[in-house]
Structure 1
Amino acid sequence: MICPLAHVEEVFQTSNGAVYQCSRKNCYWLEFNDTTTAFKVSDFFLFKKRIDAIDVASMLADTSRSSDFAIIMPHRTERCFILSVQDILNLREILAGAKFMIELNSEVKKMLRKDAILAF
């Protein structure tokens, strides 16, 4: 659960989960599979890279039971993600959408600052 004192803004949401930004603690909150996990900014992007690096094709091609799930333990969290192939794909969608919105917001702010400087 997200801290009730935190000031959060939705970054990106799908039917499978969401990412929120907390301005008070300068972190991101990931809601996924009925749990909420807080990430420092750098850890959030590192977590995205780790999820993107999972070889889903080899998981699907491997018939052993051990390849049915991927286990990811993000840095500086108490959370362990046990992900099926569908979970990985859903999580990738959420994280990719969040990253895009974060980058888009950064570019918009940059352009607004540039216009404000040119206006003076």
Structure 2
Amino acid sequence: MICPLANVEEVYKGANGAVYQCSRKNCYWLEFQQTTTSFKISDFFQFKRRIDAIDIASMLDDSSRSADFEIVMPFRTERCFLLSVQDVLQLRDILAGAKFMIELNSEIKKMLRRDAVLA
């Protein structure tokens, strides 16, 4: 659950989860698998890179039981993710959507600042 005192804004919301930005604590909140995990900004992007690096093809090709799931423990969190192939794909979708919206917001702010200076 997100802290009730936090000032959060929705960054991205999909069918399987959401990402929120907290301007009060300068962090991102990931809502996934009925839990919420807080990330410092740099840790959030590091977590995204880690999820993107999971080799889905090898998980599907390997017939051993240990290949059915990936265990991911994000840096500076108490959360441990136990992810199936479907979970990895869903999480990638959420994180990619959030990253796109963060970058889009940044570009819009740059353009607005530039237009304000030119006016």
1:25 CA displacement = 0.3
TM-score between both structures, scaled by the size of structure 1: 0.99
Q: C-alpha displacement at 1:15, in angstroms?
A: 1.1
2:39 partner SS:
strand
Secondary structure of 1:6's aligned partner: coil
Q: Please state if 1:36 is matched with 2:36.
A: yes
Deviation at 1:118, TM superposition (A): 0.2
In structure 1, the residue corresponding to 2:108 is in which secondary structure? helix
Whether 1:64 aligns to 2:48 is no
In percent, how many aligned pairs have the same letter? 79
| Cα distance between partner residues in 1 of 2:15 and 2:90 | 9
Match of 2:104 in 1: 104
Segments ≥4 residues shifted beyond 3 Å = none
1:38 and 1:73 map into 2 onto residues whose CA distance is: 13
Q: Please name the residue that 2:85 is paired with.
A: 85
AA at the equivalent of 1:86: Q
What amino acid is the match of 1:94? Answer: I
Separation in structure 2 between the aligned mates of residue 49 and residue 76 of structure 1, nearest angstrom: 16
Q: How many residues align?
A: 119
TM-score using structure 2 length: 1.00
The CA deviation string for residues 15-40 of structure 1, in whole angstroms up to 9 with x for no partner, is: 10000000000000000000000000
Aligned 1:43-54 pairs, distance under 5 A: 43-54=43-54
